[in-house]
């Protein structure tokens, strides 16, 4: 697995990007993409070194990211990794005590024994 991004739950993607991330050299914002199955819209802020921060905005109150916004007023949501052996890596993490929260064809969310959320994306 390889590190891909840090996911942040935010109230509004464009506002957060313009207000905070531009200050830290994130000069690119990808087009906003709606993920209906996860009830969110996302965009990546990218700096000159290629570091990605995924900004996650809930589409409605039933979105999982809404809980993060209410509990912590936004902030760190998950760490994202890509995998060339998707199901093998999901099984490896399960065997290490991770709990599958959501499993799709090419993306999985797992909760670590220490309660951090990880996203695994098939590469």
Residue length, the chain?
123
Q: Which residues of the chain, if any, have pLDDT below 50?
A: none
**Domain limits of the chain?**
2-122
* pLDDT 10s digits, 13-45: 999 999 999 999 999 999 999 999 899 999 999
pLDDT at 101: 95
pLDDT at site 90: 97
pLDDT of residue 12: 95
Q: What is the pLDDT of residue 70?
A: 84
- Burial label for 112, CB within 10 Å (0-12, 13-18, 19+), is middle
Q: How far is CA 29 from CA 17, 21, 72, 110, in A?
A: 8, 10, 24, 26
Residue 1: which of 89, 64, 79 has the closest Cα? 89
CATH architecture, domain 2-122: Roll (3.10)
């Amino acid at each position: 697995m390889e590190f891909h991004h840090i996911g942040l739950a935010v109230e509004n993607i464009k506002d957060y990007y313009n207000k905070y991330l531009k200050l830290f050299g994130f000069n690119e914002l990808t087009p906003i993409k709606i993920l209906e199955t996860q009830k969110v819209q996302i965009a990546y802020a990218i700096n000159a070194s290629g570091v990605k921060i995924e900004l996650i905005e809930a589409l409605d109150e039933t979105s999982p990211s809404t809980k993060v916004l209410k509990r912590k007023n936004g902030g760190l949501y998950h760490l994202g990794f890509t995998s060339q052996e998707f199901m093998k890596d999901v099984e490896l993490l399960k065997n290490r005590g991770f709990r599958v929260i959501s499993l799709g064809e090419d993306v999985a969310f797992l909760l670590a024994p220490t309660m951090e959320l990880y996203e695994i994306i098939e590469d």
